[in-house]
Amino acid sequence: MRTFGPNDFLFILEAARWTLALSLIAFIGGAIGGLVVALSRTSDIPWLRSASAAFIQLFQGTPLLLQLFLIFFGAPVLGFDINPWVAAGVALVLNSSAFLGQIWRGCVEAIPRGQREAADALSLSYRDRMRDVILPQAVRIAVAPTVGYMVQIIKGTSLAAIIGFTEVTRAGQIINNATFQPLIVFSTVAAIYFVLCWPLSLLAAGIERRHRRVLAR
């Protein structure tokens, strides 16, 4: 048994890049998926609306941990070769697609109906209406909750530790097994997450405050 030293700290700190990499994959994939979900959810085609509603309900109504287990244990059964990287990436992308889709749907629906009617009156196509009228306005409302959701993504990547993906939490477990100093190890782990998440939380709150001031004016 050894005591917790600088090398152990560096081991945990270096694992932070895998937390960041996984968060980035989840956010980029989730943003693409979320846009598709949000557009389907607000579309005029009934089956697209109900399919995206079912998708959102499925991923918001079940624990992220079980989504991770289903993909990690289910993929080999369906004949795919899978490692913790892919399983964690796919689960987090699908999960963030559902949550971001739901958030962005709210932002699209917050744009006054008159905007859409004006676009229709100008006989803009669906593409032009979305690209030039609705989305540019929706994006401004969406920034604060999206930055806020990034915090949820970073925290969500910790669950990948359970299927053996070595990010910050798993690195902490490994060091804890070697040093038996859980207090300092898990304080370090928590501090790393805090340093990653807190600036984003402050940013989200700041943007939201500014928006409210603009709206109140």
Partner 1 sequence: MNYSFQFGAVFAAWPLLLEGTWKTIELSFLAMLGGLAVAIVCAWAKTGGPAPLRWLVNAYIELIRNTPFLVQLFFFFFALPAIGLRWSAHTAALTAMIVNLGAYATEIIRAGIEAIPRGQIEAGLALNLKAHEIFRYVVLKPALKAIYPALTSQFILLMLSSSVVSVISADDLTSVASNLQSQTFRSFEIYIVVAAIYLALALSFSTLFRAVYRRAFDYPDRR
Which chain residues interact with partner 1 by CB under 8 A? 57-58, 60-67, 69-70, 73-74, 77-79, 151, 155-156, 158-159, 161-162, 169, 172-173, 176, 180-183, 185-187, 189-190, 193-194, 197-198, 201
Q: Which is nearer to partner 1, 64 or 142 (CB)?
A: 64
Cβ of residue 111: shortest distance to partner 1, in angstroms?
19
For 49-67, letters b (16+ CB in 10 Å) and e give eeebbebbeebeeeebeeb
Cβ of residue 184: shortest distance to partner 1, in angstroms?
8
Cβ of residue 21: shortest distance to partner 1, in angstroms?
16
Cβ of residue 50: shortest distance to partner 1, in angstroms?
15
Q: How far is CA 132 from CA 23, 103, 117, 126, 207, in A?
A: 30, 20, 14, 10, 23
Contact 147, 200 (CB under 8 A): yes
Q: Which is nearer to partner 1, 126 or 194 (CB)?
A: 194
Q: Which is nearer to partner 1, 135 or 168 (CB)?
A: 168
Mapping DSSP onto H, E and C, the string for 66-84 reads HHHHHHHHHHHHCCCCCCH
Nearest to 111 by CA among 130, 83, 128, 126: 130
Chain position carrying tokens 């579309």: 43
Cβ of residue 72: shortest distance to partner 1, in angstroms?
9
d(CA 159, CA 124): 45
Q: Which is nearer to partner 1, 50 or 187 (CB)?
A: 187
Q: Which is nearer to partner 1, 9 or 43 (CB)?
A: 9
